[in-house]
Amino acid sequence: MTSLFNGLLVIVLVMNLFALGTSRIHALIRIVASQGVLLGIILLLVHRHLTIPAFAVAMAGIAIKGFLIPAIMLRALRQAEIKREIEPLISPLASIMLGAIATAFAILFSGQLPLVDQNDGALLVPTAIATVLVGFIILTTRFKALTQVVGYLVLENGIFVFGMLLIEAMPLVVEMGVLLDLFVGVFVISIIVNHINRAFSSLDTRRLLLLKE
Protein backbone atom coordinates (compact mmCIF):
# COMPACT_ATOMS: atom_id res chain seq x y z
CA MET A 1 0.00 0.00 0.00
CA THR A 2 2.69 2.45 1.06
CA SER A 3 4.78 1.77 -2.00
CA LEU A 4 1.83 2.38 -4.32
CA PHE A 5 1.05 5.50 -2.42
CA ASN A 6 4.64 6.74 -2.56
CA GLY A 7 4.79 5.90 -6.22
CA LEU A 8 1.83 8.10 -6.96
CA LEU A 9 3.36 10.91 -4.90
CA VAL A 10 6.60 10.65 -6.87
CA ILE A 11 4.54 11.13 -10.01
CA VAL A 12 3.12 14.30 -8.45
CA LEU A 13 6.67 15.51 -7.81
CA VAL A 14 7.72 14.77 -11.36
CA MET A 15 4.69 16.67 -12.63
CA ASN A 16 5.90 19.63 -10.62
CA LEU A 17 9.19 19.58 -12.48
CA PHE A 18 7.37 19.22 -15.81
CA ALA A 19 5.27 22.24 -14.96
CA LEU A 20 8.43 24.21 -14.30
CA GLY A 21 10.13 23.03 -17.46
CA THR A 22 7.49 23.74 -20.06
CA SER A 23 7.08 27.11 -21.65
CA ARG A 24 3.86 26.28 -23.46
CA ILE A 25 0.88 27.46 -21.48
CA HIS A 26 -1.33 24.84 -23.05
CA ALA A 27 0.88 22.03 -21.77
CA LEU A 28 1.18 23.69 -18.39
CA ILE A 29 -2.58 23.70 -17.93
CA ARG A 30 -2.80 20.06 -18.97
CA ILE A 31 -0.09 19.02 -16.51
CA VAL A 32 -1.71 20.81 -13.61
CA ALA A 33 -5.08 19.34 -14.56
CA SER A 34 -3.68 15.82 -14.51
CA GLN A 35 -1.96 16.57 -11.23
CA GLY A 36 -5.37 17.47 -9.83
CA VAL A 37 -6.88 14.22 -11.09
CA LEU A 38 -4.03 12.22 -9.62
CA LEU A 39 -4.48 13.91 -6.25
CA GLY A 40 -8.17 13.05 -6.32
CA ILE A 41 -7.26 9.39 -6.89
CA ILE A 42 -4.76 9.51 -4.02
CA LEU A 43 -7.48 10.90 -1.80
CA LEU A 44 -9.59 7.88 -2.63
CA LEU A 45 -6.72 5.55 -1.73
CA VAL A 46 -5.87 7.29 1.51
CA HIS A 47 -9.26 6.69 3.04
CA ARG A 48 -9.26 3.45 4.90
CA HIS A 49 -13.01 3.33 5.19
CA LEU A 50 -14.40 5.10 2.18
CA THR A 51 -17.65 6.86 3.01
CA ILE A 52 -20.05 8.24 0.46
CA PRO A 53 -19.40 11.91 1.33
CA ALA A 54 -15.63 11.38 1.08
CA PHE A 55 -16.09 9.72 -2.26
CA ALA A 56 -18.25 12.61 -3.41
CA VAL A 57 -15.62 15.12 -2.39
CA ALA A 58 -12.87 13.25 -4.17
CA MET A 59 -15.01 13.04 -7.28
CA ALA A 60 -15.88 16.72 -7.10
CA GLY A 61 -12.17 17.56 -6.70
CA ILE A 62 -11.31 15.50 -9.78
CA ALA A 63 -14.12 17.08 -11.77
CA ILE A 64 -13.31 20.65 -10.84
CA LYS A 65 -9.51 20.54 -10.90
CA GLY A 66 -9.14 18.03 -13.64
CA PHE A 67 -11.78 19.19 -16.08
CA LEU A 68 -13.78 22.28 -15.22
CA ILE A 69 -10.93 24.66 -14.38
CA PRO A 70 -8.72 23.55 -17.28
CA ALA A 71 -11.67 23.98 -19.61
CA ILE A 72 -12.26 27.53 -18.45
CA MET A 73 -8.58 28.37 -18.68
CA LEU A 74 -8.13 26.85 -22.10
CA ARG A 75 -11.07 28.87 -23.31
CA ALA A 76 -9.53 32.06 -21.93
CA LEU A 77 -6.25 31.06 -23.56
CA ARG A 78 -7.95 30.64 -26.94
CA GLN A 79 -9.62 34.03 -26.65
CA ALA A 80 -6.42 35.75 -25.64
CA GLU A 81 -4.59 34.10 -28.55
CA ILE A 82 -1.32 33.43 -26.86
CA LYS A 83 0.63 30.19 -26.78
CA ARG A 84 3.78 30.49 -24.73
CA GLU A 85 5.35 32.26 -21.89
CA ILE A 86 7.70 34.33 -24.00
CA GLU A 87 9.98 35.87 -21.44
CA PRO A 88 10.01 34.08 -18.10
CA LEU A 89 12.28 35.61 -15.48
CA ILE A 90 14.53 32.55 -15.57
CA SER A 91 14.92 29.91 -18.24
CA PRO A 92 12.92 26.65 -18.05
CA LEU A 93 16.09 24.73 -17.31
CA ALA A 94 16.96 26.99 -14.41
CA SER A 95 13.38 26.64 -13.20
CA ILE A 96 13.74 22.87 -13.16
CA MET A 97 17.00 23.15 -11.22
CA LEU A 98 15.31 25.44 -8.75
CA GLY A 99 12.39 23.04 -8.43
CA ALA A 100 14.79 20.14 -7.82
CA ILE A 101 16.54 22.12 -5.11
CA ALA A 102 13.18 22.96 -3.56
CA THR A 103 12.20 19.27 -3.59
CA ALA A 104 15.47 18.25 -1.96
CA PHE A 105 15.03 20.97 0.62
CA ALA A 106 11.50 19.78 1.32
CA ILE A 107 12.65 16.19 1.85
CA LEU A 108 15.45 17.31 4.16
CA PHE A 109 13.16 19.65 6.04
CA SER A 110 10.39 17.11 6.58
CA GLY A 111 12.99 14.71 7.95
CA GLN A 112 13.50 17.18 10.76
CA LEU A 113 9.82 17.51 11.57
CA PRO A 114 8.50 15.71 14.63
CA LEU A 115 5.86 13.64 12.81
CA VAL A 116 3.54 10.93 13.98
CA ASP A 117 5.03 7.49 13.24
CA GLN A 118 2.12 6.68 11.01
CA ASN A 119 3.36 9.20 8.46
CA ASP A 120 7.02 8.28 8.74
CA GLY A 121 8.47 6.87 5.61
CA ALA A 122 5.63 8.21 3.49
CA LEU A 123 6.44 10.92 1.00
CA LEU A 124 3.29 12.84 1.90
CA VAL A 125 4.86 15.77 3.79
CA PRO A 126 7.84 16.29 1.45
CA THR A 127 5.50 16.22 -1.54
CA ALA A 128 3.20 18.76 0.05
CA ILE A 129 6.02 21.15 0.88
CA ALA A 130 7.75 20.70 -2.46
CA THR A 131 4.51 21.33 -4.34
CA VAL A 132 3.83 24.50 -2.36
CA LEU A 133 7.36 25.73 -3.07
CA VAL A 134 7.02 24.97 -6.76
CA GLY A 135 3.76 26.90 -6.79
CA PHE A 136 5.60 29.82 -5.32
CA ILE A 137 8.37 29.53 -7.90
CA ILE A 138 5.85 29.60 -10.74
CA LEU A 139 4.14 32.59 -9.16
CA THR A 140 7.35 34.57 -8.87
CA THR A 141 9.01 33.75 -12.16
CA ARG A 142 6.15 33.83 -14.66
CA PHE A 143 4.45 37.01 -15.74
CA LYS A 144 1.43 36.03 -17.80
CA ALA A 145 -1.85 36.30 -15.97
CA LEU A 146 -2.76 32.72 -16.90
CA THR A 147 0.50 31.25 -15.68
CA GLN A 148 -0.04 33.07 -12.43
CA VAL A 149 -3.33 31.21 -12.10
CA VAL A 150 -1.49 27.96 -12.74
CA GLY A 151 0.92 28.89 -9.96
CA TYR A 152 -1.99 29.29 -7.58
CA LEU A 153 -3.38 25.94 -8.67
CA VAL A 154 -0.08 24.21 -7.95
CA LEU A 155 0.08 25.98 -4.60
CA GLU A 156 -3.39 24.76 -3.79
CA ASN A 157 -2.49 21.22 -4.83
CA GLY A 158 0.35 21.32 -2.30
CA ILE A 159 -2.03 22.39 0.43
CA PHE A 160 -4.43 19.68 -0.69
CA VAL A 161 -1.71 17.06 -0.23
CA PHE A 162 -1.01 18.42 3.20
CA GLY A 163 -4.71 18.20 4.00
CA MET A 164 -4.53 14.41 3.42
CA LEU A 165 -2.44 14.19 6.58
CA LEU A 166 -5.36 15.48 8.50
CA ILE A 167 -7.92 13.48 6.62
CA GLU A 168 -9.37 12.11 9.82
CA ALA A 169 -9.46 15.46 11.57
CA MET A 170 -10.38 17.87 8.80
CA PRO A 171 -14.06 17.91 7.98
CA LEU A 172 -14.96 17.49 4.35
CA VAL A 173 -16.80 20.77 4.40
CA VAL A 174 -13.44 22.53 4.57
CA GLU A 175 -12.29 20.61 1.55
CA MET A 176 -15.43 21.62 -0.31
CA GLY A 177 -14.96 25.24 0.71
CA VAL A 178 -11.42 25.28 -0.63
CA LEU A 179 -12.57 23.79 -3.90
CA LEU A 180 -15.32 26.37 -4.23
CA ASP A 181 -12.88 29.21 -3.54
CA LEU A 182 -10.50 27.89 -6.10
CA PHE A 183 -13.19 27.50 -8.72
CA VAL A 184 -14.58 30.98 -8.21
CA GLY A 185 -11.06 32.46 -8.19
CA VAL A 186 -10.13 30.85 -11.48
CA PHE A 187 -13.49 31.71 -12.96
CA VAL A 188 -13.08 35.37 -12.13
CA ILE A 189 -9.46 35.55 -13.26
CA SER A 190 -10.29 33.90 -16.57
CA ILE A 191 -12.84 36.60 -17.20
CA ILE A 192 -10.45 39.32 -16.12
CA VAL A 193 -7.75 37.94 -18.41
CA ASN A 194 -9.82 39.08 -21.36
CA HIS A 195 -10.18 42.54 -19.94
CA ILE A 196 -6.49 42.83 -19.12
CA ASN A 197 -5.74 41.74 -22.64
CA ARG A 198 -8.02 44.39 -24.09
CA ALA A 199 -6.92 47.21 -21.81
CA PHE A 200 -3.17 46.65 -21.92
CA SER A 201 -2.93 44.71 -25.22
CA SER A 202 -0.94 42.13 -23.32
CA LEU A 203 -1.35 39.56 -20.61
CA ASP A 204 1.85 40.61 -18.93
CA THR A 205 1.02 41.34 -15.31
CA ARG A 206 3.99 43.71 -15.15
CA ARG A 207 1.90 46.11 -17.20
CA LEU A 208 -0.40 46.35 -14.20
CA LEU A 209 2.35 48.46 -12.63
CA LEU A 210 0.73 51.34 -14.47
CA LEU A 211 -2.06 51.14 -11.93
CA LYS A 212 0.36 51.97 -9.11
CA GLU A 213 -0.09 55.40 -7.58
Partner 1 sequence: MSATWNILAAIVVLGLSGLPAYLLPARSETGQRVATAAMVAGSLLGLCGVAGGVGGAIPSVAGAAWGLPYGRFSVAIDAVSAVFLALVFVVPALGSIYGLGYWGHAQHRGTGRRLGLFYGLLAGSMALVLIARDGVLFLIAWEAMAMAAYFAASVEEDDPAVRRAGWVYLIATHAGTLCLIAMFALWRQATGSFALEPAPAMAAGLASAIFVLALFGFGFKAGLMPLHVWLPGAHSAAPSHVSAVMSGVMLKMGVYGIVRMTALLPVGPPWWGGTLLVAGAITGLAGIAFAIGQHDLKRLLAYSSIENIGIIAMGLGLAVLGRALGRPEWVLLGLGGALLHTINHGLFKPLLFLGAGAVIHCVHTRELDRLGGLARRMPAVTGLFVIGSVAICALPPLNGFASEWLIYLGLFRTVGLGGEPGFAPAAVAAVVLAMIGAMAVACFAKLIGTVFLGSARSDASQHGHDPTATMMGPMIVLAFGCVCLGLFPSIAIAPLEDASRTWAALAESTPISLAAVAPLGWISAAGLGLVAVVATFALISRITPRAGAVAEAGTWDCGYARPDRRMQYTGSSLGATLVDLFGLVVWPRNHQPAIHGLFPGSATFKSVVADTVLDRLVLPFFRAAGRYMSMFRVFQQAQMQSYVLYVLTIVIVLMVWGTMGAEP
Interface residue list for partner 1 (CB under 8 A): 89, 105, 109, 112-114, 129, 133, 136-137, 139-143, 148, 151, 205-206, 208-209, 211-212
Half-sphere exposure at residue 15, Cβ-oriented, CA atoms within 13 angstroms? 29
Rank residues 65 and 142 by Cβ distance to partner 1 and give the closer one. Answer: 142
Rounded to whole angstroms, how far apart are CA atoms 101 and 9?
17
> Least Å distance between CB 154 and partner 1?
12
> Least Å distance between CB 90 and partner 1?
12
> Least Å distance between CB 138 and partner 1?
9
The CA angle 29-69-65, to the nearest 5 degrees, is 85
> Least Å distance between CB 56 and partner 1?
33
Rank residues 62 and 130 by Cβ distance to partner 1 and give the closer one. Answer: 130
Look at residue 86 and give its three-state secondary structure.
coil
Rank residues 5 and 200 by Cβ distance to partner 1 and give the closer one. Answer: 200
> Least Å distance between CB 134 and partner 1?
11
Rank residues 60 and 76 by Cβ distance to partner 1 and give the closer one. Answer: 76
Rounded to whole angstroms, how far apart are CA atoms 30 and 66?
9
Residues in the chain: 213
Rounded to whole angstroms, how far apart are CA atoms 100 and 20?
10
Rank residues 57 and 125 by Cβ distance to partner 1 and give the closer one. Answer: 125
Q: b/e map of 72-83 (b: 16 or more CB within 10 Å)?
A: bbbebbeebebe
